[in-house]
Amino acid sequence: MAQSCKYVKQLEEACRLVSEVLGRTGDRLVFQSRSGPPTQPWLEPDVLDCLREVKQCDLAASVVLAPIGFISDHLEVLYDLDTEAKQLCADLQLPMVRAGTAGTHPEFVRVIRELIVERMNDSPVRIAREALGASHDVCPADCCPAPQRPATAVRS
């Protein structure tokens, strides 16, 4: 699905914007919350693999994990980052801090309110900071088509 929609591009842009606000460059987007059977491809690089690489290649003395794809500290964030990644970093002796999610931060709530009012008023101008621009409000019929599996021969 990631190949047929803007999901990864939107996360890459969010990563770039967060880094820009912090005055940083070169921050990496990695993925957590692998799901499905091990035979099913998942988005990469995996956060745990990246942490191992950071330590093995001495890329940083410490790391900050910022779950930009999540707006609240729910089970995936708490387990994947606060349990698994934290334990791996302890094992690697790689200091780690996890940034908080937006949650109910007043600025986040203000922006959500602005977006709701924008849509209630059917404003033709949409708020968007990222280079990708504002996305549609309702997915068109051809939005995010499911990936097609290669045809397989049927044997009798």
Domain count, the chain: 2
Residues 52 and 111 in one domain: no
> pLDDT at residue 97 above 90?
yes
Q: Are 86 and 96 in contact (CB under 8 A)?
A: yes
**Residue 151: what pLDDT?**
61
Q: Are 48 and 90 in contact (CB under 8 A)?
A: no
What is the span of the domain harbouring residue 7?
2-102
**Residue 73: what pLDDT?**
92
Residues 98 and 81 in one domain: yes
Pick 144 or 102 by higher pLDDT.
102
**Residue 47: what pLDDT?**
97
pTM of the model: 0.80
Question: Scanning the structure block, which residue is given the tokens 């939107």?
Answer: 10
Question: Scanning the structure block, which residue is given the tokens 């621009």?
Answer: 133
Residues 108 and 63 in one domain: no
Mean pLDDT (whole number) for 25-49: 88
> pLDDT at residue 156 above 60?
no
